[in-house]
Structure 1
């Protein structure tokens, strides 16, 4: 098995950025989900509610990001150095640092609604919840529940075959389900990899970094939004509900927590160690 793809999401819920390699820190990939967009009340804006966010890219640069989107000039935003003074309604985090008026204005124009960009200065201020597999000292970025999301190409191929079968049984055209709908950081590939083998992985070494299993990942309505057209639909949740439903939720991928730090690159060997 090997790393088939790596993706950074510098700003929570914006479009992902494929990378060839990344540094892994205890809270996840360096630069992943250290920023997020909130409304005028500090409520987190996500692509579940605002699909227009999928049309915006935040490209990481040394010391900041570059925001880009259709019809707007690109904007460079540097990591802020001020105190965390913006009240935000995100679990286990009460305050974040303002990203600046220029970024706020740019995002407001891009999304067609009031928006503010905020920055998490120190991931240790937001621990992984024990209900999501966290242990004492596990830091977290602005991700929903865990530092990294891992999926496999074998599982996606099996899901796509199920989606095709479901469409045929209903006399519908099959929907193509790309991995980007699931927004993983780390995609594992391999000729002998069995679909959903990752469900049973307790510990895994990717390149030089060791991870432990945190939890299976329950999937939400965001997966039903085409990341290119931003049109909604019923798949893959409809099909996952037929094959991957337990505990009242549907599941695809696993959340993992780095036990060590290091570097990971596309092509690195992946070894299950426990």
Structure 2
């Protein structure tokens, strides 16, 4: 008898491109899980920064704190941890660029900018996306007008544990789920079963798997050591059997139609299927 589909992990990433916080429950909102990627680091030209170009960001660690989180530098113990609340206040605003979008954002406290500038060795600022900002997902695939935070393109990323197990079975050195930065992780089912999902439910909440997620060089950086794989793994192996339109695919970009609370351990039920891609 096949194992049931269950929500096995929940993650939020308070600052885009920094580490995640593992949760046992999370609130689903129009832009994704509450507090997920609402903060963003921008350079002196107000353009978004990620580990893709600024690998030093991999040294910054995120830990939960009361009504917020702590940032620390794993190689700079002389830098005291920085407390950042989950939400900012609209005292100062500016326009920032993320991919092809320009949106207004609220500034963090000056000491946040000073800490990050020192930690990363270049001028930068920390900014927050308020509920007043409208940033849409891809209109061609989401005519209903879904919102997204400072995440790359979609409010949720879903990955099955058996999909990671399939990939790790092909790697000389297995990698953890944190390499792929999912929000929703489920157990049960066959490897890459999520590729064929269309509408599904977790507990009493409805979701839609829109399209597969193309992976980038970020997956080759070990979050524990901030070192990049000299062989380009796991991206190289993934690309050998999971390529579509020139990108290595892993996980599903997901939207949701409602608000509510998710709990780890809740059942996952697939309501409808789409034709899975062939890699």
3-state secondary structure, aligned to 2:88 = coil
RMSD: 1.7
Q: What aligned pairs does 1:125-274 form with structure 2 within 5 A after superposition? A: 125-131=134-140, 133-163=141-171, 174-190=172-188, 193-233=189-229, 234-274=232-272
Match of 2:16 in 1: 12
Any stretches of 5+ residues in structure 2 without a counterpart?
273-279
Output the CA distance in 1 between the equivalents of 2:124 and 2:180.
24
Deviations 1:173-194 (A, max 9, x none): x12221111000111112xx10
Output the CA distance in 2 between the equivalents of 1:269 and 1:84.
43
Contact persistence 1:3–1:189 (CA under 8 A):
yes
Contact persistence 2:15–2:40 (CA under 8 A):
yes
Paired residue total: 261
- Following superposition, the deviation at residue 56 of structure 1 comes to 2.0
- Following superposition, the deviation at residue 126 of structure 1 comes to 0.8
Match of 1:166 in 2: none
Deviations 1:28-52 (A, max 9, x none): 1000000010111111110112222
Match of 1:104 in 2: 113
3-state secondary structure, aligned to 1:267 = coil
Contact persistence 2:94–2:104 (CA under 8 A):
yes
Output the CA distance in 2 between the equivalents of 1:140 and 1:219.
18
Contact persistence 1:123–1:139 (CA under 8 A):
no
Match of 2:122 in 1: 113
Match of 1:169 in 2: none
3-state secondary structure, aligned to 2:169 = helix
Any stretches of 5+ residues in structure 1 without a counterpart?
164-173
Match of 1:171 in 2: none
Output the CA distance in 2 between the equivalents of 1:144 and 1:118.
16
**Measured at CA, do residues 268 and 84 of structure 1 come closer, stay the same or move farther in structure 2, by a change above 3 Å?**
farther
3-state secondary structure, aligned to 1:44 = coil
Contact persistence 2:38–2:149 (CA under 8 A):
yes
Contact persistence 2:103–2:133 (CA under 8 A):
no
- Following superposition, the deviation at residue 215 of structure 1 comes to 1.2
- Higher-helix-fraction structure: 1
- Following superposition, the deviation at residue 86 of structure 1 comes to 1.7
Q: TM-score, structure 2 length as denominator?
A: 0.88
Output the CA distance in 2 between the equivalents of 1:49 and 1:223.
13
Output the CA distance in 2 between the equivalents of 1:116 and 1:271.
42
**Measured at CA, do residues 84 and 146 of structure 1 come closer, stay the same or move farther in structure 2, by a change above 3 Å?**
farther
3-state secondary structure, aligned to 1:6 = strand
Match of 2:277 in 1: none
